[in-house]
Structure 1
Amino acid sequence: MNLSGLRRWVARALIAGVTTVLTVTGTAAAQPVGPDAKAVVIGVAGLTWADVKGSPELTALVNQSNVASMSVKTAGPNTCPIDGWLTISAGSRAWGNVPDQPCGDLPAVAEGKIQGWQTYVDRQAEHHTGAPLGRLGASRDGVCGFGPGAAIAVAKPDGSVANWSPEFNATRLADCRDAFIDAGVLPPREGRSEALLQLADLVSKARAAGGWVLLTGVSQETVDSHKQTLAALQLPPDNGARWLTSDSTHRPGLIQLADITATVLRGQAADVDPAGEAKAGPLGGSEIDSTGDVHTDAAAVIADRLGANQRFEQPRLVLKWVAATLAVALALALGWFLIRRSSVWARRTAIFVLLTQGGFFIAVFLATATVWWRWPSPGIALYAVTIAISVAAAALSMLFLKRYAYIGLAAAAYLLLLIDGLLGTPMQLGSMFVDGPVFGGRFYGFGNSTFATLAVGALIVAGWVAQKLIDRSRVQAALAVLVVGGVAIVVDGTPGWGTDFGGILGLTPAVLLMAWLTWRGSSSWRALLGVAVGAVVAVSGVAYLDYLRPPEKRSHFGAFVARVFEGDVTDVLVRKLQAALAVFHSPAGWVLLVAVILLMLATVLPDRVPSASYRRFYHSEPMVRPTLIAMTVCGLAGSLLNDVGVIVAGIMAGFAVPMLIAHLMDVRQPATVLPESHLVQES
């Protein structure tokens, strides 16, 4: 054994001895701790669950810890160490690094101040993050910092730093109320094992000071590192080792950086004025809590977290391959049909591929039921099951519903998402339509893509049911629209279910207008104004009721109302506007906009559409027009009121248009002879 190996062996033995003593003897560090106990946060850039697995010392801590994956997405496109520590300082997502530049060194502390602090303050204003830098330092007395990153975390709003040391000092730690320790950046390859060994030693020393310790990744290692959720271990547990969660994620085993600040402040920052001028906005996170069953198998916990990383990372990557596959198949099928119009097989193949595109909007959610991330090759598994479910959905709908297959696909999507919403949206995390924790997307509830899918399904189903009733009674048909659409609105918008503020803003006026058109057959400016007012009142009422709940229990609705009342809503609106306009940074965005506008015009000016089969279809049954107009209104409102802009209407069209074309291709005779079940068709 060489000298380096001997040192490592001795260090491991000492750490193992300390861990054993802390576990067996029942010292203060090993006893359950109350919510007001000292908090010691040890942050390290790039700490992954693979590191925990590769370090015997960290693995040994798992069974003594509440555990989670840490989402380190901040306001900027990348999370460098400066971004992570600034986010902890502000208690909400902050922007630290300069885009398209590598992660630099953390700023130094000179004469008691963070160098270049004003640059970071200005950067928050430039990017409208609304992050109040220095909130943690201004809100909590007696917080100590050790290391350059910790200096940023505990700095005051003016960048001044007190109770700070450039290196860890165990003696000083004992006198701190709470503490943040910067454990540096893990080396990419060589020296990583030694760094993990030193990290385990640091945890042991921090535990000896009493209270509880949170060891967590706070950022990616470099600006171009492979993104994944990082590791977080909180010890000792207060009631057995369990999964960590928070009200900001609603997901056992998942927390985010801003939750750290909320936990250390323990709700004390709500009325703090860190800048001395205006109140800081609501915290971007919630207090960390433990939930679920007790875990006692470190290997199983680590395997679960590594599998979760696959669940978070793969969907966006695989989506591109699935989309490319469907696009190629569609191009080939339509090309064959255009060449061989008289061929029955060419027609049937084109129809089948078009319906497979519709089936994709079912598969994208149902695929999560296969727990593909636990398969030997997760990416390949996700691709395979998504294609298989899409094909199966198309085949079954064609087999049982023939030319009305689109109704089956729409109803399946509608019912599937209603069930998912009622169950707390378990099918969302890991689906291709959710950015997830790696990219900082929605942690719970329905996102924009899910809303678009639900809206198409709900409006088609509402139109189909209304068509069945309209000859008997227009009032009954209108009530059916309100019931079917209303259920979708309730599930989509209820906090704890869909929790989708922007979604109900788009779907509510569409359902109300569709019900009016079903009842009266035509509209007027007075009716349109009434629909708009009714939608605003309904949405505002839901948001205000959510605002009345305790701050830590509010969803996006209540948090938005709180920002409005506090005069802190400008940055939020600007960020959403910027995000909505970002789609036009590429030619594809403009192409999408033109396509959406043309589709919307086709629903209000059907006689101008150069397709005889579409014109016959539009006028074939009473509920076709209200359904298409309702989808147009929903797509328009959803695009204007959501932060992805025209993409909402684009996704609605991606679901509806292929099914419409498939239906029109399958209609061999004038649409007037079709049975009334023909109903609704999408745009």
Structure 2
Amino acid sequence: MMRFTGLVRAVLLTAAVLLLSSGTAAAQPTGLFAKVVVIGVPGLTWNDVKASPELTALVNQSHVGSITVKTAGPHTCPIDGWLTISAGTRAWGSVPDQSCGDLPAVTNGKVADWQTYVDRQAEHHTGAPIGRLGQTGYSICGFGPGAAVALARTDGSLRHWQPEFDPAQLAKPDCGDAIIDAGALPPREGRAEAREKVAQLVTQARAAGGWVLLVGVSQELANAHQEPLVAMQLPPDNGPRWLTSDSTRRPGLIQLTDVTATVLKGRTPANVDPAGSADAAPLDGNEIHFTGDRHTDAAAVIEDRLDANQRFEQPRPMLFAVSLTIVAAEVLALLWFWFRRSPASRRTAVFTLLMQGGFYLAVFLSTLTVWWRWPSPGFSLYCVIIGISALTALVAQVVLKKYAYLGLAIAAYLILLVDGVLGTPLQVGSMFADGPVIGGRFYGFGNSTFATLAVGALVTAGFAAQRLISKSRVQAAIAVLVVGGAAIVVDGRPGWGTDFGGIIALTPAVLLMAWLTWRGSISLRALIGVGVAGVLAVSAVAFLDYLRPPDQRSHFGAFVARLLDGDVSDVLIRKLQMAVQFFSGPAGWAMLIAVVLCMLGTLLPHRVPSESYRTFYDSLPMVRPTLLALSTCGLVGMLLNDAGVALPAIMTGFAVPLLVAHLMASHQPATVSPESHLVQES
């Protein structure tokens, strides 16, 4: 036991060192001028740039990119966008199920109904300190109603603000940086004229000298098409390139809160806290900088941005279509097998089940096809996913036969390990990435990706241990720690998977699996020890990450910072609300019932009404540890992750079809009984 415990400690220490050996790259110097002028235009899309000669002419004079304007509420109306710039974190300004409406008026030097917006942040637990930007004490001039919202102090009062843009005022020395509201673009009539005025406003702002940031700040309507909007920085530093930030770590993509971080970076008086107050939430954004090669062809840049919109928008709608197609194929194949019980119907049913497993590879491999540049990108993505799912299932079924399930699980594990080490290039545009439209994770592994990696890692670890267990249980346990530890490191290391919640769920599962492999059983005392070891390992990694400079911390260190500052309650409440929202309809309850039944099947295998499953459970020493580890990972993830029941449901959607396919492919009855049932056969 001493030997094994020492080994576990060594593996955890190595994992901690690897997890913390890299961080986010520091922002490049942006060469800021004496003045930073932010021009916000609600609804400014890349189609507007394409349709406007004046805006197109700005492209080769700018660092360019797209900006995600997701805020805390369900819609990003202009009030939401301007409040988010005010707070430096996602804010909630609009009322759900209502139109966006006009921005609040300014009366007697104060934004009307300001307290309403303050109360709205508390009501929805956003934690957004609206008024932060105006409270810094730095001289920032504002022009227009949106700028009034962005620059209002914590009590709603204003200074250095005018209702209309004044070039002469902007050029004055006492006007430091500036925020300009160019007004929302009209949905239809008058949009061309509004685009021309925006281009003129950019020209006027540049004449005052400085660094102009033209950005979309929101959608113009509550029901407007959701897409990343335009971001341009003029003049460009060292030639026109691609905007980025450490918030997104993606060339050509920034987020709305980066605007606040950029304005405040290095420009706040020394006696003023950049956060606005000592108890304010940390900034969600990072300074905007540039990356990549120069661009010199405005038309090509615009088409690239429009292609990027397709890459960000199509995956989620197509996810439903692909899932429906695969499930329908499975149902039809299983019904055919139920009634016919022929070898052909069995092979077809196995193929469709393996096809669902292949889907978990296809969501990532599809990005290698650059489908967003094909004609009809949505339909192209649908065909690519179905094609790769079917091809991987066919290859696995023909080459590996009854062990096809194992090949697909190992392939998922290896693909995601490589993707993580390379900086997760397969995530952008995949169906398992939230993307900038949803405003979720911009880099690293999300919940769906982690669920896939967890299944692949634990099944692969079980296979490796099974090959060694007859020689030595210690060697088999080491194999579990190595295979599982690699997944933990890649999933959690900053710059790779950067997934805090993932390693919380995977670490105890790997430790439990290693213990069961070594000892064959586990006592309550050992189970508690495994849980404590997992908590300590994750806590140590998070605390060490917290010790790094704030701009180099990942999600781990940021969470510890919030915890130590006493600012974690809103975060936890929001995550709990996200987990609970799955139960707002019958689908969430159905997922929970299915997940619980699957977990019970790993704990009480002899109660499962399938002879094939019961035989399989007892057939090999590593089956039980692997299945229990999968259940443990799913249970911990469900209880401690904001994805809630969705995380184990995704794991179930990958693991169960592979298991059933294996049972069906392995079980060849001597006689075919018309009275037998599918459950008994598989």
For this structure pair, what is the TM-score category when the shorter chain's length is used for normalisation?
A: over 0.9
2: CA distance between counterparts of 1:607 and 1:488?
31
What does the per-residue CA deviation read over 1:306-327, in whole Å, with 9 as the maximum and x for residues that have no partner? 0000000000010010011011
2: CA distance between counterparts of 1:652 and 1:140?
50
Q: Which residue of 2 aligns with 1:37?
A: 34
Q: Which residue of 2 aligns with 1:284?
A: 284
| 1:566 partner letter | D
| Identity across matched positions, percent | 70
Q: Would you say how many aligned residue pairs link Structure 1 and Structure 2?
A: 639
Q: Which residue of 1 aligns with 2:459?
A: 460
2: CA distance between counterparts of 1:279 and 1:548?
19
* 1:130 aligns to 2:127 (yes or no): yes
2: CA distance between counterparts of 1:416 and 1:556?
24
Q: Which residue of 1 aligns with 2:204?
A: 205
What does the per-residue CA deviation read over 1:398-436, in whole Å, with 9 as the maximum and x for residues that have no partner? 111100000100011000000100010011011001110
Structure 1 counterpart SS, 2:183: strand
1:34 Cα offset (Å): 2.9
The unaligned stretches of length 5 or more in structure 1 are: 1-31, 671-682
Structure 1 residues 321 and 68: CA distance shift in structure 2, 3 A:
same
- Conservation of the 8 A alpha-carbon contact between 2:264 and 2:274: no
State which drifts further: 186-195 or 473-482: 186-195
2: CA distance between counterparts of 1:552 and 1:221?
32
- Conservation of the 8 A alpha-carbon contact between 1:66 and 1:242: yes
1:545 Cα offset (Å): 2.1
Q: Which residue of 1 aligns with 2:601?
A: 602
Q: Which residue of 2 aligns with 1:471?
A: 470
- The aligned runs of 1:156-305 (5 Å cut-off) are 156-175=153-172, 176-266=175-265, 279-305=279-305
RMSD of Structure 2 on Structure 1 (CA): 1.6
- Conservation of the 8 A alpha-carbon contact between 1:138 and 1:274: no
Structure 1 counterpart SS, 2:182: strand
Q: Which residue of 1 aligns with 2:360?
A: 361
- The aligned runs of 1:204-603 (5 Å cut-off) are 204-266=203-265, 279-341=279-341, 343-603=342-602
Structure 1 residues 208 and 36: CA distance shift in structure 2, 3 A:
closer
- Conservation of the 8 A alpha-carbon contact between 1:580 and 1:645: yes
* 1:108 aligns to 2:102 (yes or no): no
- Conservation of the 8 A alpha-carbon contact between 2:275 and 2:283: no
1: CA distance between counterparts of 2:456 and 2:86?
44
Q: Which residue of 1 aligns with 2:17?
A: none
Structure 1 residues 274 and 418: CA distance shift in structure 2, 3 A:
closer
Structure 1 counterpart SS, 2:290: strand
Structure 2 counterpart SS, 1:41: strand
1:546 Cα offset (Å): 1.7
| 1:151 partner letter | A
1:157 Cα offset (Å): 0.6
2: CA distance between counterparts of 1:462 and 1:387?
28
1:583 Cα offset (Å): 0.1
- Conservation of the 8 A alpha-carbon contact between 1:272 and 1:280: no
Structure 1 residues 276 and 232: CA distance shift in structure 2, 3 A:
closer
Q: Which residue of 2 aligns with 1:643?
A: 642
Q: Which residue of 2 aligns with 1:64?
A: 61
- Conservation of the 8 A alpha-carbon contact between 1:271 and 1:279: no
- Conservation of the 8 A alpha-carbon contact between 1:274 and 1:280: no
2: CA distance between counterparts of 1:459 and 1:265?
45
- Conservation of the 8 A alpha-carbon contact between 2:89 and 2:257: yes
2: CA distance between counterparts of 1:360 and 1:218?
36
- Conservation of the 8 A alpha-carbon contact between 1:245 and 1:252: yes
1:441 Cα offset (Å): 1.1
- Conservation of the 8 A alpha-carbon contact between 2:135 and 2:276: no
* 1:617 aligns to 2:616 (yes or no): yes
| 2:68 partner letter | S
- Conservation of the 8 A alpha-carbon contact between 1:635 and 1:652: yes
| 1:338 partner letter | W
68, 73, 76: which is aligned to 1:76?
73
Structure 2 counterpart SS, 1:619: helix
What does the per-residue CA deviation read over 1:168-220, in whole Å, with 9 as the maximum and x for residues that have no partner? 00011112100000011101112111111111000000000111001110000
The unaligned stretches of length 5 or more in structure 2 are: 1-28, 670-681
Structure 1 residues 91 and 276: CA distance shift in structure 2, 3 A:
closer
Structure 1 counterpart SS, 2:350: helix
Structure 1 residues 250 and 151: CA distance shift in structure 2, 3 A:
same
What does the per-residue CA deviation read over 1:477-535, in whole Å, with 9 as the maximum and x for residues that have no partner? 00000000000000000000000000000000000000000000000111111111111
Structure 1 residues 228 and 480: CA distance shift in structure 2, 3 A:
same
| 2:169 partner letter | R
State which drifts further: 582-591 or 551-560: 551-560
1: CA distance between counterparts of 2:571 and 2:34?
35
What does the per-residue CA deviation read over 1:70-95, in whole Å, with 9 as the maximum and x for residues that have no partner? 00000001100000000000000000
Structure 1 residues 271 and 470: CA distance shift in structure 2, 3 A:
farther
Q: Which residue of 2 aligns with 1:18?
A: none
Larger relative contact order (Cα-Cα within 8 Å, sequence gap ≥ 6): 2
- Conservation of the 8 A alpha-carbon contact between 1:94 and 1:131: yes
What does the per-residue CA deviation read over 1:243-272, in whole Å, with 9 as the maximum and x for residues that have no partner? 010000000100011000000000667996
| 2:100 partner letter | C
2: CA distance between counterparts of 1:660 and 1:259?
46
1: CA distance between counterparts of 2:33 and 2:581?
44
Structure 1 residues 117 and 599: CA distance shift in structure 2, 3 A:
same
| 1:249 partner letter | T
| 2:662 partner letter | H
Q: Which residue of 1 aligns with 2:139?
A: 142
Structure 1 counterpart SS, 2:296: coil
- Conservation of the 8 A alpha-carbon contact between 1:518 and 1:623: yes
Q: Which residue of 1 aligns with 2:21?
A: none
1: CA distance between counterparts of 2:280 and 2:258?
16
TM-score w.r.t. structure 2 length?
0.92
2: CA distance between counterparts of 1:333 and 1:314?
29
* 1:92 aligns to 2:72 (yes or no): no
Structure 2 counterpart SS, 1:197: helix
Structure 1 residues 568 and 425: CA distance shift in structure 2, 3 A:
same
1:35 Cα offset (Å): 2.7
43, 48, 51: which is aligned to 1:54?
51
- Conservation of the 8 A alpha-carbon contact between 1:149 and 1:182: yes
Structure 2 counterpart SS, 1:431: coil
Structure 1 residues 229 and 430: CA distance shift in structure 2, 3 A:
same
- Conservation of the 8 A alpha-carbon contact between 1:33 and 1:236: no
1:668 Cα offset (Å): 2.4
Structure 2 counterpart SS, 1:231: strand
Structure 1 residues 357 and 276: CA distance shift in structure 2, 3 A:
closer
Structure 1 residues 327 and 666: CA distance shift in structure 2, 3 A:
same
| 1:138 partner letter | Q
2: CA distance between counterparts of 1:624 and 1:33?
55
| 1:451 partner letter | F
TM-score w.r.t. structure 1 length?
0.92
- Conservation of the 8 A alpha-carbon contact between 1:132 and 1:274: no
Structure 2 counterpart SS, 1:333: helix
Q: Which residue of 2 aligns with 1:13?
A: none
Could you list the structure 1 runs, at least 4 aligned residues long, displaced by more than 2 angstroms after superposition.
32-37, 267-278
2: CA distance between counterparts of 1:272 and 1:474?
60
Structure 2 counterpart SS, 1:180: strand
1: CA distance between counterparts of 2:147 and 2:33?
21
